[in-house]
Amino acid sequence: MNAVGKTFSFMLLERIYDDDLAQASYLVACQETGSAIIVDPNRDIAQYIGAVERRSLRLEYVTETHIHADFVSGARDLARQTGATLLLSGEGGPDWRYAFARSDGARVLEHRDCFDVGQVRFEVRHTPGHTPEHLSFIVTDRLASERPVGMFSGDFIFVGDVGRPDLLERAANLQGTMDTLARQLFRSLRATSELPDFLQLWPGHGEGSACGKALGAMPSSTLGYERLVNWAFQIGDEDAFVREVLNGQPEPPKYFATMKSVNRDGPAPSPKPNDLPELDLTGFERARSDGASIVDVRATADFAAGHIPSTLNIPVGTSFATWAGSLLPYERDIVLLADTPDRIERARRLLMLVGHDRVVARGGRALRDEWQHSHGALARVKLIESTELPADDGRVIIDVRGQTEWDAGHMPQARHLFLGNLSELARDIPHDTPLAVHCQGGTRSAIAASVLQAQGFTDVANVTGGFRAWEAAGLPVGTTGEAGNGTDSLHPNRTVHAS
């Protein structure tokens, strides 16, 4: 109650987090008027419609902080389905304006614009750096105070990190952009000096996202706390900041370039759910001969124990969208293999989130049994512990981790072939070469083993403990510049590390 006895209905804020994308969307509503906005929706729009309906709200606006690279945006589809007004950035120059803004009747936002969701005011700030058009939104709950309560920082400021400025150059191949964006990011950070320490920060991603180097696990922070602990606020020199923010960035997933174009030019509505037909052996062989990608989404141990030859193993989990987006061609149909409907449906949803809409069929245990009856034994992947790697059996050790992980330490005799580029890098290695593939813990190397088997390699082992177990056992660790520095011993004039 206030001094005159009136009860206020303050701003409502709900964080809607997708663990598989490490991505946060937000529902904001004025409870006084019942009007609402969704910020940064992904393509699974039913969850936002459900959140609005459960609270008996009226969705007035849909917006996003920037053109996303790691998933297909749901903003356009959500606005169309609900009749809400679409709010899109008008900053960033002609190359990074939304091509569909005018046709969709979107309201274009520019720096210092304001709009109201009931009694909740949004002030638009242009915060370039991660992308040229990036916006952040300063939020004021005017029923509570005329001072701002928080900022939707998108991929500008994270908990403990900032958005990487190298994606347009390294993922979309726009040369010369990462230095420019890094300098814009530095200036965007300095421009926050006018904002109060108490301002809450609601970022667009959490721990595990590839949109930064080392995002924190906390769901939110304050600007004051980030000024104390976030590395990006500790560097006052622009050149030094540019060097640091570009140093050690992980390899961007290959599908990021596709997502940038899709989200700029106009994402299609998410496909309507339908029952996937279950293939028998005849249908399976027809799909494969037609060029479909065959993806076994079972756990790595199940795949290793027996699978249809030349199938790709991408186990459903938090890294599934990253590797499915990076390894599966968008122009091909996809057939999913698993033993449970839940695993098939989860994989299908994640594929939809990164724009893979051509999932046409499924298969399971019955298909494997039919394959065995017709063709004989299933294929298998050898499993060996890192501590069991013999030193003299002629098996070539392949490290499929990222460049930064490799630089920090690796098995001294390992060759570095990054998983995202493995098909190209391994193309001219003799297929009868015995290989032992490892990553940090075992998941990426399991995917890599299936990639190599599908390419025709006949003796592939997955090192299940990975480099983590190697280090824990106190075994020797190499560093960049030593014998295993990325020059392939099978092809000594060929560099195999990926940056």
The three-state (H, E, C) secondary structure of the chain, written as one string: CCCCCCCCCCEEEEEEEECCCCEEEEEEEECCCCEEEEECCECCCHHHHHHHHHCCCEEEEEECCCCCCCCCECHHHHHHHHCCEEEEECCCCHHHCCCCCCCCCCEEECCCCEEEECCEEEEEEECCCCCCCCEEEEEEECCCCCCCCEEEEECCECCCCECCCCHHHHCCCCCCHHHHHHHHHHHHHHHHHHCCCCCEEEECECCCCCCCCCCCCCCCEEHHHHHHHCHHHCCCCHHHHHHHHHCCCCCCCCCHHHHHHHHHHCCCCCCCCCCCCECCHHHHHHHHHCCCEEEECCCHHHHHHCECCCCEECCCCCCHHHHHHHHCCCCCCEEEECCCHHHHHHHHHHHHHCCCCCEEEEECHHHHHHHHHHHCCCECCEEECHHHCCCCCCCEEEECCCHHHHHHCECCCCEECCHHHHHHHCCCCCCCCCEEEECCCCHHHHHHHHHHHHHCCCCEEEECCHHHHHHHCCCCCECCCCCCCCECCCCCCCECCCC
Is 96 a residue whose pLDDT tops 90?
Answer: no
Give dist(CA 90, CA 96) in Å, integer.
9
What contacts 53, CB < 8 A, 6 or more positions away?
A: none
Give dist(CA 457, CA 428) in Å, integer.
11
Q: Which two tokens stand for residue 175?
A: 């040369």
pLDDT score at 485: 39
Is 392 a residue whose pLDDT tops 70?
Answer: no
pLDDT tens digit string along 292-336?
999 999 999 999 999 999 999 999 998 999 999 999 999 999 999
11-265 topology per CATH: Metallo-beta-lactamase; Chain A (3.60.15)
Average pLDDT in the chain: 92
pLDDT score at 8: 58
pLDDT tens digit string along 412-436?
989 999 999 999 999 989 999 999 9
382-443+452-472 topology per CATH: Oxidized Rhodanese; domain 1 (3.40.250)
pLDDT score at 496: 31
pLDDT tens digit string along 39-70?
999 999 999 999 999 999 999 999 999 999 99
pLDDT score at 488: 37
Would you mind telling me the total number of residues written for the chain in this entry? 499
CB distance 338 to 297 below 8 Å: yes
Region 444-458 average pLDDT: 96
Task: Tell me if domain 11-265 and domain 281-375 are identical in fold.
Answer: no
Q: Are strands 293-296 and 135-141 parallel, antiparallel or unpaired?
A: unpaired
Region 131-137 average pLDDT: 98
Percent of the chain with pLDDT over 70: 94
Is 237 a residue whose pLDDT tops 60?
Answer: yes
From 241, 268, 292, select the one nearest 104 (Cα to Cα).
268
Q: Is 211 a catalytic residue?
A: no
Residue type present at position 461: A
Region 117-135 average pLDDT: 98
How would residue 273 be classed by pLDDT, with cut points 50, 70 and 90? confident
CA–CA distance from 184 to each of 82, 134, 274, 433 (Å)?
36, 11, 45, 48
CB distance 172 to 257 below 8 Å: yes
Region 206-234 average pLDDT: 91
pLDDT score at 391: 57
pLDDT score at 492: 31
End-to-end CA distance of the chain: 59
Is 491 a residue whose pLDDT tops 50?
Answer: no
How would residue 7 be classed by pLDDT, with cut points 50, 70 and 90? low
Percent of the chain with pLDDT over 90: 83
Region 238-244 average pLDDT: 98
Is 341 a residue whose pLDDT tops 60?
Answer: yes
pTM here?
0.92
pLDDT score at 99: 96
pLDDT score at 479: 82
pLDDT score at 495: 30
Region 6-10 average pLDDT: 64
pLDDT score at 6: 53
Number of Cβ atoms within 10 Å of the Cβ of 394? 7
CB distance 411 to 397 below 8 Å: yes
Region 212-223 average pLDDT: 88
CATH of 281-375, one of 3.40.250.10, 3.60.40.10, 3.40.50.2000, 1.20.1440.230: 3.40.250.10
How would residue 87 be classed by pLDDT, with cut points 50, 70 and 90? very high
pLDDT score at 481: 54
Give dist(CA 422, CA 447) in Å, integer.
10
How would residue 91 be classed by pLDDT, with cut points 50, 70 and 90? very high
Is 497 a residue whose pLDDT tops 50?
Answer: no
Among the options 30, 114, 211, 439, which is catalytic?
A: 439
pLDDT tens digit string along 159-174?
999 999 999 999 888 8
How would residue 487 be classed by pLDDT, with cut points 50, 70 and 90? very low
Region 204-225 average pLDDT: 89
How would residue 457 be classed by pLDDT, with cut points 50, 70 and 90? very high
How would residue 388 be classed by pLDDT, with cut points 50, 70 and 90? confident
